[in-house]
Structure 1
Amino acid sequence: METMQQLFNQVVIDIAMAALALLAAYAINALHKLTEKAKLETKRLKDEEQRKLLIDALEDIEILTTKTVTEIEQTTAKALREAVKSGVRDRAELEALSKKAFDEIADALKPEAKALIEKHFGNFSKYLTKAIETKVFEVKNGL
C-alpha cells in the first residue's frame, strides 16, 4: 500500500510539474507576444511621427515656394521675361531668379526638413528645383 501511495504521489508530482512547465511555456509565449506587440507599436508610433514630420516639411516647402515664386514673379520676373523676349536683357538674368528663389527657400527651411526630404525623396536640391519649376508654371498660368 505504501508503494502505491508513493507511486500515486510521484504521478501527482509529475503531473503537477508538467502542468507547471506547460504554464511556464504559455507565460513565456505570452510575454514574447507582448514584447513583439510593444515593439511593433513603438515602430508604428515612430513611423507615424516620421510621416507627420515629412508632411510638415512638404507643406513648409509648398508655402515657402508659393510665397517666394509669387513675390519674384510680381516684382521682377514678368518684366524681365518681357525684356528677354525683346532682346534687351540676357536670359541668364532670368535664370538667376530661379537660383535666388532656391537660395531663399533653402535658407528658410530647417535642416530637419531638408534631411527628411533627402531621406524620402533622394536629392533635396532636385526636389526643391522641381517644386520651384512647378510653382513658376502655376503662377505664370494662373493655376
Structure 2
Amino acid sequence: METIQSTVSEAAVTIVLSLIGLLAAYATYGIHKVTQKVKTQTVQIKDDTARQLLSSALEDVEELTVVTVAALEQTTAKQLREFVKDGKVDRAELVALSKQAADEITAAVKPEAQKIIEENFGSFRGYVSKLIEEKVLKLKAISS
C-alpha cells in the first residue's frame, strides 16, 4: 500500500511540475506576443508622426514657393522674359532670378523641415528648384 501511495504521490508531483512548466511556457509566449504588439504599435506611431511631419513640411514649402514665384513673376520675371525673348538681356538673368527664389525659400524654411524633406527626397535645394520650375510653368500657362 505504501508503494502505491508513494508512486501516486510521485506521479502527482510530476504532473503538477509539468503543469507549472506548461503554464510558464504559455505565460512566456503571452508576454512575447504582447511585447511584439507594443513594438509594432510604437513603430506605427513613429511612422505616422514622421509621415505627418513630412506632409506638413511639403505643404509649407509648396505654399511658400507659390507665394515667392507669384511675387517674383509680378515684379520682374515677366518683363525679364520679354527682354530675353527680344535679345536685350541674357538668359542667365532668368536663371539668377530662379536662384534668388530658391534662396528666399530656403531662408524661410526651418532647418528641421529641410532635414525632413532631405531624409525623404534627397537634396532640399533640388526639390525647391523643381518646385519653382513647376510653379513658373503653371503661372505661364495661366497668363498665356
Identical aligned pairs, as a percentage? 51
Q: RMSD across aligned C-alpha pairs, in angstroms?
A: 1.1
Figure out how many residues of one structure are paired with residues of the other and give that number.
Answer: 143
* TM superposition outliers: structure 1 runs of 4+ over 4 Å: none
The equivalent of 2:65 in structure 1 is 65
Question: Which residue pairs with 2:12 in the alignment?
Answer: 12
Pairing 1:95–2:95 present: yes
Q: What amino acid does structure 1 have at the position aligned with 2:21?
A: A
Q: Which runs of 5+ in 2 are unaligned?
A: none
CA distance in 1, matches of 2:29, 2:58: 43
Alignment partner of 1:2 is 2:2:
yes
Instruction: Give 2:56's aligned residue.
Output: 56
Query: Deviations for 1:41-64, whole angstroms, at most 9, x for unmatched residues?
Result: 000000000000000011011101
Answer with 118-127 or 63-72: which moved more. 118-127
1-structure distance, mates of 2:29, 2:102? 55
Q: CA deviation at 1:89?
A: 2.1
Q: Does 2:107 match 1:107?
A: yes
Q: C-alpha separation between the residues in 2 aligned to 1:140 and 1:52?
A: 32
AA matched with 2:127 = Y
Q: TM-score, normalised by structure 2?
A: 0.95
Q: Could you tell me which amino acid in structure 2 is paired with residue 23 of structure 1?
A: L
Distance 1:71 1:92 in 2: 20
Partner residue of 2:119? 119
Give 1:90 deviation, angstroms.
Answer: 2.3
Tell me the residue number matched to 2:85.
Answer: 85
